[in-house]
Structure 1
Amino acid sequence: MGGVPPALRPHLTRWTSLAPPVALVVLALTWGRYPGGVVVALVAVVLAAAVLAAVHHAEVVAHRVGEPYGSLVLAVAVTVIEVALIVTLMTAGGPQASSLARDTVFAAVMITCNGILGLSLLLGARRYGTTVFNAEGTGAALATVATLAALSLVLPTFTTARPGPEFSPAQLAFAAVASLALYAMFVVTQTVRHRDFFLPVAPGGGPLAEEEHAAPPSTRAAVASLALLLVSLVAVVGLAKVESPAIEAGVAALGLPQSFVGVVIALLVLLPETIAAANAARRGRTQISLNLALGSAMASIGLTIPVIAVASIWLEGPLLLGLGSTQLVLLALTVVVGVLTVVPGRATRLQGGVHLVLLAAFLFLAASP
């Protein structure tokens, strides 16, 4: 999100300022109802406008505060609202939603670590031949994501305190505390101790110069964009929930498993980050794209598991967090391929294509397990 993208032009600023409050009004009018086909289509249009507005305002904030803070703002904001959506759906769904947190978080990890990362590498390499990034910062982020995924999604499959892929209360509490600690340590590393590890790099390996034509927005404009970003994200997640009955009906009509609902929710919620990462990659700032991808994966686990652990006190039914055998294979393959991609500090279109194929395999197997 470095630099000022075309989305900052004045004629676009007007509608990006109007879209979030309009989306919030539509959300208020449709919340708790079961709209018909025409209204569902209208909500989908407003949802798309809110997503594009969120990307615009995230880029304004990021340009004001600089990297890696800009990537962190969008990743945390999206994840906080994603967690709220998961808890809301689990509360409303009862025991049938016992695996929704696992399905959504795992989908978010696969979409970010394969989809956003692969798309960013492909776009960056397609334009520049070979795209470069900081292996130290990206490697630290990938290691944290892998550890969080193992503690929260892999271990429940193999523990014996409870039948099935779930933690005992003590194990869940440990996973929650460990997740928060890991995420906090990474944020300190990214923003304080080793901030230079997460800044864009030039082809020669040095820091990438800021774009001279990109004057940072004023503090007032940045604060306004931050507020509109939060409104946009609330609207995106809320409208996604409004659309969820139509999504569930569509999933059932297509004969897909119920767990695929979590995949669709993750795809919708992560759409702003995907567009922002793609925009950064096109401008040769692959490091920012990787910050977004891995930061979002990390926040999805590191913030969701602690909240779910607290929410499990009043949620009905078991909390199934452990992955199945197919998901474990996909996660292991994603981590191994991710390590091989990150270590050199540079990538070609091949690496991007490999990650996108892994995403395609996940989506196919989620639809046809």
Structure 2
Amino acid sequence: MPALLGWAAVLAALLLQPSGPVALAAILTVIVLCSFGVMQRANALARRLGEPYGALVLTFAITAIEIILVASVFLGDQPNPGVARDSTFSASMLLLNLVMGAAFLIGGLRHRRLAINGAGVSQYLVMLLVVGGAAFALPVLLAAPPSRAMQTAIAVLMLLTYGVFLHRQLGANRADFADASPETATDEPALPNAVWLIATIAPIVVLGQVMTPMFTELLPRPELAGLLIAVVILLPETFTTLSAGWSGQGQRVANLTLGALVSVVGVTVPVVLLLAAATGREADFVLSGAELTLLGMTLGLSTLTATARQATALHGVGHLAVFAMYVMVLVA
């Protein structure tokens, strides 16, 4: 089972203290296999609980991994003030362009059109504009680096905004996030799948922390560490989203990608800001002009998809093209 394999790898890593590219490749392989196990458990929970609860279980787990990995790098011996910015921006490009684009392309080619609920997607986009603006645009607008009090105020604002969104998503606005053609509900017990989901995700967290010093040693540019952290974190979400696209579940694709990004930005950034305020370390969230442009293009494409209320293969191609631009900017 993937969980047992993951814990065996954790034990080996603790005993052998691995290093070098071969060890890094081996750890990544185990993480990929664990991610498939996470996907299976998450899909089983989604069939049992329905949307948006099924997507939220996986989303919260992914967010927890993000916070642990980013905090471990941010508080490490070698300062990396931009790790939270790099990982969250990379997550934005990966989730909204690569993962969602590939899912829409696969689903569009197989089913021609994927129905999405425009009301639900628009609420995700409103949240992304607010928490993304507070995280990435506000530092540019401020005349000077934010003080500890300002960092705390920004963090509290983001957490309160996300809390209100979550309350509405699970309450009065729940129907806006339901899939138009949900999978048949099952009576399979949810607790065993939830336990195995956590047991399979936990070794990914530990192995991610083992990889952190390897990133510093092997990567020539610090921003690549943020990208690789985002890749590791989002592997379970990626496989689950592609499976939803293959099944023609357009709203589940949106719930998994947009919902995960709202949680990643709306929770990870405030946590890092609070850590920076508490420890006196610098947290850099300023994006370059090229990065802000790519983020604006991505949100614009997502808005057009929400307005159409149906996703097609062409929508997927558009998002994949923006991801290709992101890669060009990254390697330039």
- TM-score calculated relative to the size of structure 1: 0.84
Tell me if structure 2 keeps the 8 A contact 1:109–1:300. Answer: no
- Equivalent residues, number: 331
Residue 341 (str. 1) matches residue 305 (str. 2): yes
Using the TM superposition, name which of 304-313 and 72-81 deviates more.
304-313
Question: Measured at CA, do residues 108 and 93 of structure 1 come closer, stay the same or move farther in structure 2, by a change above 3 Å?
Answer: farther
Structure 2 partner of 1:7: none
Give, as a single letter, the amino acid of the residue that structure 2 aligns with 1:224.
P
Residue 118 (str. 1) matches residue 101 (str. 2): yes
Structure 2 partner of 1:199: 178
Cα offset, 1:291, TM superposition = 0.4
Give, as a single letter, the amino acid of the residue that structure 2 aligns with 1:199.
A
Give the one of 127, 130, 133 matched to 2:113: 130
Alignment partners' CA distance in 2, 1:302 and 1:311: 15
Give, as a single letter, the amino acid of the residue that structure 2 aligns with 1:282.
W
Tell me if structure 1 keeps the 8 A contact 2:148–2:277. Answer: no
* Deviation sequence 1:57-86 (CA, Å, 0-9, x none): 111222221111010110111111210110
Give, as a single letter, the amino acid of the residue that structure 2 aligns with 1:326.
A
Residue 215 (str. 1) matches residue 186 (str. 2): yes
Structure 2 partner of 1:231: 199
Residue 79 (str. 1) matches residue 63 (str. 2): yes
Cα offset, 1:271, TM superposition = 0.9
Cα offset, 1:133, TM superposition = 0.7
Give the one of 136, 153, 164 matched to 1:185: 164
Tell me if structure 2 keeps the 8 A contact 1:94–1:315. Answer: no
Tell me the SS of whatever aligns to 1:320: coil
Structure 2 partner of 1:251: 219
* Deviation sequence 1:38-61 (CA, Å, 0-9, x none): 544432332222111111111122
Give, as a single letter, the amino acid of the residue that structure 1 aligns with 2:108.
A
Tell me if structure 1 keeps the 8 A contact 2:182–2:249. Answer: no
Alignment partners' CA distance in 2, 1:326 and 1:93: 30
Tell me the SS of whatever aligns to 1:328: helix
Give, as a single letter, the amino acid of the residue that structure 2 aligns with 1:27.
V
Alignment partners' CA distance in 2, 1:367 and 1:194: 41
* Deviation sequence 1:334-354 (CA, Å, 0-9, x none): 122221121110122111111
Alignment partners' CA distance in 2, 1:78 and 1:289: 15
Alignment partners' CA distance in 1, 2:140 and 2:216: 27
Give, as a single letter, the amino acid of the residue that structure 2 aligns with 1:73.
V
Give, as a single letter, the amino acid of the residue that structure 2 aligns with 1:244.
T
Structure 2 partner of 1:5: none
Cα RMSD (Å) of the superposition?
1.9
Structure 1 partner of 2:53: 69
* Deviation sequence 1:11-64 (CA, Å, 0-9, x none): xxxx2xxx2133124224314934355544432332222111111111122222
* Deviation sequence 1:93-114 (CA, Å, 0-9, x none): 443x111011001111221122
Cα offset, 1:235, TM superposition = 1.4
Give the one of 302, 310, 317 matched to 2:266: 302
Cα offset, 1:249, TM superposition = 4.0
Tell me if structure 2 keeps the 8 A contact 1:23–1:235. Answer: yes
Question: Measured at CA, do residues 161 and 35 of structure 1 come closer, stay the same or move farther in structure 2, by a change above 3 Å?
Answer: closer
Alignment partners' CA distance in 2, 1:262 and 1:43: 17
Question: What is the correspondence of 1:1-369 to structure 2 with a 5 Å cutoff?
Answer: 15=1, 19-31=2-14, 33-36=17-20, 38-95=22-79, 97-162=80-145, 167-201=146-180, 208=181, 210-211=183-184, 215-218=186-189, 222-252=190-220, 257-315=221-279, 317-368=281-332
Give, as a single letter, the amino acid of the residue that structure 1 aligns with 2:255.
N
Tell me if structure 2 keeps the 8 A contact 1:114–1:355. Answer: yes
Tell me if structure 2 keeps the 8 A contact 1:94–1:317. Answer: no
Alignment partners' CA distance in 1, 2:182 and 2:218: 47
- TM-score calculated relative to the size of structure 2: 0.93
Structure with a larger share of its residues in helix: 2
Tell me the SS of whatever aligns to 1:279: helix
Question: Measured at CA, do residues 284 and 143 of structure 1 come closer, stay the same or move farther in structure 2, by a change above 3 Å?
Answer: same
